[in-house]
């Protein structure tokens, strides 16, 4: 088990480099935007209206 965990650490460490992340940046950002766009598409007009009201300070913010 210890060996397996060590292997996993090595696997992650081996690909996570600044160069690799820069190379993947367009893919990562496109994927993230696609995920968010899908979720935002499911927002109802009522939820959007509530968000606008929150932003405009129409709802008390004391948490």
Applying CB under 8 A, the residues found at the interface with other proteins are 5, 8-9, 11-13, 15-16, 18, 20-21, 24-25, 27-29, 31-33, 35-36, 39-40, 44, 46-48, 50-52, 54-55, 57, 59, 61-63
Helices (H), ranges, 1-63: 2-15, 18-41, 45-55
Least distance from other proteins to the Cβ atom of residue 55, Å: 6
Least distance from other proteins to the Cβ atom of residue 24, Å: 4
Least distance from other proteins to the Cβ atom of residue 19, Å: 13
* Alpha carbons 21 and 52: distance in angstroms, whole number: 35
């Amino acid at each position: 088990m210890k060996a397996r965990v060590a292997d996993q650490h090595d696997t992650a460490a081996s690909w996570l480099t600044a160069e690799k992340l820069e190379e993947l940046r367009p893919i990562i950002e496109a994927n993230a935007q696609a995920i968010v766009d899908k979720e935002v598409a499911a927002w109802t007009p009522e939820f959007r209206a509530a968000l606008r009201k929150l932003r405009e300070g129409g709802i008390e913010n004391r948490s």
